[in-house]
């Protein structure tokens, strides 16, 4: 039976290269304000990553507005202007097909904040910095004391 978590090999070099080119192109288009939508141009949007399907016909674009404020508005504006953004991508790249763009909020920054908070916890910091070794050494000392307290004939 196949492992449900095994999704096969990771993305190909071509998928990675095309995804990065799309990311750069979209970042430049959004930075220059080439899209004629004042709602979209009002937001400063970071394009964190672009993942492409194996056939390069679908590109999932992970975006986040600066500071995370107005994320829903920015996402709605991007989705409204998908056609124009796709046109810019097709014009700047030499692909056989212009990929269908799908925009999703990038939550990796939130996960990084959660991870930082977790590592700031005293218990976690103690474990990471070797506090677990201190607990083991206390156990070893207790075992030594118990062994030393036994009568000589048990040894």
**Distance between CA atoms of 25 and 91, rounded to whole angstroms?**
10
Query: pLDDT exceeding 70 applies to what percent of the chain?
Result: 75
Report the topology of domain 13-106. Answer: GMP Synthetase; Chain A, domain 3 (3.30.300)
- Dump pLDDT digits (tens) for 24-58: 999 999 999 999 899 888 889 999 999 999 999 99
pLDDT per residue of the chain (155 residues) written in tens, 0 to 9: 444 445 667 889 999 999 999 999 999 999 999 998 998 888 899 999 999 999 999 999 999 998 778 889 999 999 999 999 999 999 888 778 889 999 999 887 666 666 777 777 788 777 777 755 555 545 455 555 555 555 555 44
The partner residues of 102 in beta bridges, in order of sequence, read: 60
């Amino acid at each position: 039976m196949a492992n449900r978590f095994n999704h096969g090999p990771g993305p190909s070099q071509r998928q990675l290269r095309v995804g990065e080119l799309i990311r750069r192109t979209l970042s430049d288009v959004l930075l220059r304000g080439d899209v004629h939508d004042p709602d979209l141009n009002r937001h400063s949007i970071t394009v964190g990553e672009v993942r492409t399907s194996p056939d390069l016909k679908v590109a999932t674009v992970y975006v986040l507005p600066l500071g995370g404020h107005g994320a829903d508005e920015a996402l709605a504006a991007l989705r409204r202007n998908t056609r124009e953004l796709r046109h810019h991508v097709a014009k700047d790249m030499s692909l056989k097909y212009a990929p269908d763009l799908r925009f999703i909020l990038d939550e990796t920054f939130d996960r990084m904040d959660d991870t930082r908070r977790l590592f700031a916890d005293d218990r976690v910091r103690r474990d990471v910095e070797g506090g677990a070794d201190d607990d083991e050494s206390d156990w070893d000392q207790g075992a030594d004391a118990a062994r030393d307290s036994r009568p000589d004939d048990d040894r």
